[in-house]
């Protein structure tokens, strides 16, 4: 069922992709051929190219490439189980890039929920723990200690996540490496995984959550601006917030796709607040209280 939906989506994209310049060149060729045949007195028989066959060939080729060269773009890889070493509580830097925070009450024999956090454009993983981030006051150290969950904050390979509303770029492999490193370092409950972010990080987190709803339980998106088009899986719970005076990513865009998500059957907790491109402490605290309920639910 999932694969067929994926093929339909990809086929529609392929069918719509036909550069105008190519159509014009083909039209000119047909006119020239028509004139040549009229000059010889031969009847011109129209033999249009069967687009269906072309689409089928492209889809099959794409599927073979996916099989040979890697997983479907946008898919997260969650290890079957964590095999923690002698992890100790506190903030730790990962070799794969990014930061991992293990709460003070962590015990290796008790797997904890995991919250993956994606930073804003021009930001880095430290933004979630500094306590001095101008758009997001407070540190997630205290929130992780209170909620008893592990925080994984990868760094984007570039200055931000993805390259626009229609692309995954090289960021998903980077996130997957960070997830693998976290699972190798501490005990994580793979049935209690959430993803969140701010600004571009929120857009990317929301996109990944929708594409991996069979693996992700909840999504927290602070001021998102786009959603990468992909096959939806599962129905993760969604917490979305946005400031009414946001001049960087307009709230109207978020309101439109919130309405569409609700229409598609997603449970969306939307919070519109007086403010700009920011995450007020009250909104962040409310999001963490909301997430705690999702982590406890089955």
Q: Where in the chain is the domain with CATH 3.40.50.1820?
A: 90-296
Whose tokens are 């990014």? That residue is: 98
Share of the chain above pLDDT 90, in %: 55
DSSP 239-295: EEEEETT-SSS-HHHHHHHHHHHHHTT--EEEEEESSSSS--HHHHHHHHHHHHHHH
Tell which phi-psi region holds residue 22, choosing left (phi > 0), alpha (psi between -120 and 50) or beta: alpha
Return the bridge partners of 271, or none. Answer: 241
* Per-residue pLDDT at 78 exceeds 70: yes
209 pLDDT more than 60: yes
**What pLDDT does residue 104 have?**
93
Please, are residues 233 and 204 in contact by the beta-carbon 8 Å criterion? no
| 8 A C-beta contact, residue 15 and residue 55 | yes
Report the pLDDT value the prediction gives residue 132, as an integer from 0 to 100: 54
Note the pLDDT tens digit of each residue in 272-297: 999 999 999 899 999 999 999 999 87
pTM, 2 dp: 0.75
Kindly report the length of the chain.
298
Residue pair 101/151 in contact by the 8 Å Cβ criterion? yes
- Per-residue pLDDT tens for 84-123? 767 889 999 998 789 999 999 999 889 999 999 999 988 8
Mean pLDDT across the chain, nearest whole number? 78
CATH assignment of 90-296?
3.40.50.1820
Banded pLDDT at 42 (limits 50, 70, 90): very low
């Amino acid at each position: 069922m999932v694969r067929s939906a994926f093929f339909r989506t990809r086929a529609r994209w392929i069918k719509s992709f036909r550069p105008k310049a190519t159509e014009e060149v083909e039209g000119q060729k047909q006119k020239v051929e028509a004139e040549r045949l009229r000059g010889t007195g031969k009847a011109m028989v129209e033999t249009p190219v069967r687009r269906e066959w072309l689409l089928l060939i492209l889809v099959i080729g794409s599927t073979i490439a996916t099989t040979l060269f890697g997983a479907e773009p946008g898919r997260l890889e969650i290890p079957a189980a964590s095999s923690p070493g002698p992890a100790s509580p506190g903030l730790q830097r990962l070799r794969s890039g990014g930061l991992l925070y293990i709460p003070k009450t962590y015990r290796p024999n008790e797997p904890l929920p995991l919250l993956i956090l994606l930073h804003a454009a021009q930001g880095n993983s430290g933004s979630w723990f500094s306590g001095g981030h101008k758009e997001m006051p407070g540190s997630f150290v205290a929130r992780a200690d209170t909620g008893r969950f592990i925080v994984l904050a990868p760094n984007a390979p570039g200055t931000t996540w993805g390259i626009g509303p229609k692309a995954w770029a090289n960021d998903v492999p980077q996130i997957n490496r960070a997830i693998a490193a976290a699972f190798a370092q501490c005990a994580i409950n793979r049935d209690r995984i959430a993803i969140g972010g701010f600004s571009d990080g929120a857009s990317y987190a929301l996109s990944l959550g929708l594409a991996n709803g069979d693996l992700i339980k909840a999504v927290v998106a602070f001021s998102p601006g786009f959603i990468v088009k992909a096959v939806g899986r599962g129905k993760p719970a969604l917490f979305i917030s946005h400031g009414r005076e946001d001049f960087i990513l307009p709230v109207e865009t978020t309101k439109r796709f919130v309405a569409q998500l609700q229409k598609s059957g997603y449970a969306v907790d939307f919070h519109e607040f007086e403010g700009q491109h920011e995450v007020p402490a009250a909104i962040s605290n409310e999001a963490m209280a909301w997430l705690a309920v999702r982590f406890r639910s089955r």
